[in-house]
Copies of this chain bind each other. A is one copy, B any other.
């Protein structure tokens, strides 16, 4: 059972590591950076996690655990269009509220998914296949316009995660750090998917 201090420090480390890993990638990050950000000495940090890799793994594990929740919530029994738009909205909220997690994930994928390949073709694919069947049924039933479910999901992921992963570019184009792009993004994405899918 973890003591108070353990909980506090473990949390501080993961928080710091998320910051560091998500902006610098795994190899670009140093244990020292993380330790400093967590307010610990390097050996003290390694007292809680056996290695740099272990911290990264812990972070990814925690992330992947929650990563699919928005998709899981897509309900076959619901109204098709609003179910899908709801999924888009939830994904966009995740980008807004957990941009570092999104970048951590993006870093992994772009670099060839060395650590999470099994997850992609395992859990992820299984769930996507399951929900794809739902989409196909809705299409077959004429409840939404015909669409390739896989590419539908790719669209949703691409469009929502973009606001987290490419956030620097988004702000550069919008012309200011202070503009919150999410309200407009939400309206825009809702429009896109509504137009695409309305039967």
Q: Are B151 and A184 in contact (CB under 8 A)?
A: yes
Kindly state whether residue A90 has any CB partner on chain B within 8 Å. Answer: no
Residues in B whose Cβ lies below 8 Å from that of A173: 120, 124-125, 128, 150, 153-154
Q: Are A155 and B192 in contact (CB under 8 A)?
A: yes
Chain A residues numbered 82-123 whose CB sits less than 8 Å from any CB in chain B: 103, 106-107, 109-113, 117, 120-121
Q: Are A112 and B23 in contact (CB under 8 A)?
A: yes
Residues in B whose Cβ lies below 8 Å from that of A111: 23-25, 28
- What are 14 A-B contacts defined by CB distance under 8 Å? A23-B112, A25-B27, A25-B28, A25-B107, A106-B166, A113-B172, A117-B172, A120-B169, A124-B173, A128-B173, A152-B188, A154-B162, A154-B185, A158-B158
Q: How far is the CA of A152 from the CA of B113 in the complex (A)?
A: 29
Question: In the complex, what residue of chain B is closest to A111 when comparing beta carbons?
Answer: B23
Kindly state whether residue A168 has any CB partner on chain B within 8 Å. Answer: yes
Kindly state whether residue A191 has any CB partner on chain B within 8 Å. Answer: yes
Residues in B whose Cβ lies below 8 Å from that of A169: 109, 113, 120, 124
CB distance from A76 to the nearest CB of B (A): 19
Question: In the complex, what residue of chain B is closest to A198 when comparing beta carbons?
Answer: B195
Chain A residues numbered 138-179 whose CB sits less than 8 Å from any CB in chain B: 147-148, 150-155, 157-159, 161-163, 165-166, 168-170, 172-175
Kindly state whether residue A26 has any CB partner on chain B within 8 Å. Answer: yes
Interface residues of A (CB under 8 A from B): 23-28, 103, 106-107, 109-113, 117, 120-121, 124-125, 128, 147-148, 150-155, 157-159, 161-163, 165-166, 168-170, 172-175, 181, 184-185, 187-189, 191-192, 195-196
Among A120, A154, A157, the one with the most B-chain Cβ atoms within 10 Å of its Cβ is A154
Residues in B whose Cβ lies below 8 Å from that of A110: 23, 103, 106-107, 110, 165-166
Q: Are A191 and B196 in contact (CB under 8 A)?
A: yes
